[in-house]
Amino acid sequence: MYDILIFVYENFFSSGVYPTNAVLQNRLFAAGFEPDEVEQALAWLEVVDQLPIGTFETGGKASLRCLSDAEFDKLGQEGWGFLSFLEGGGILGAEQREWIISSAMAIEGGAISLDKLKLITLTVFWRQGHPMDIMLMEELIGDTEPLVH
């Protein structure tokens, strides 16, 4: 799924285009992605489209989110710090955070890189039409290695 997110980012993000799933499916098949990968990615994007938009209101009280050992192993200290930074700054809502964590957990293998976590986060914001200021964009993609080597 990570390769599909890179493809979607490179082909649609900068243009501001939000393709329908049918258009996206056709483009992904034309690019050579496997049907089950495309189906999984489209299902993931569909759920992202349904996530609440906006920031998490705590009613003036601090919220606390503890990671399980498996979640911490997958995200690492750097990844968790990144999500905490976004949430603490009012950029990321709790529902978005949980979806990003569960998406990261669904990626096979061990720990994911901060770049992968940033791509997942960027995709969530893009699909929701989240306003992106230049500082946030720089944090998400400005200092990362190229997405495709």
Locate the domains of the chain by residue range: 2-142
- Going by pLDDT thresholds of 50, 70 and 90, the confidence category of residue 60 is very low
pLDDT grade for 146, boundaries at 50, 70 and 90:
very low
In tens, the pLDDT along 18-44 reads 788 888 899 999 999 999 999 988 888
pLDDT for residue 62 is more than 60: no
- Residue 9 contacts residue 49 (beta carbons within 8 Å): no
Q: How far is the C-alpha of 102 from the C-alpha of 116, rounded, in Å?
A: 13
Mean pLDDT score, 101-127 = 84
pLDDT of residue 5: 80
What integer pLDDT is reported at residue 71 of this predicted model? 94
Average pLDDT of the chain is 78
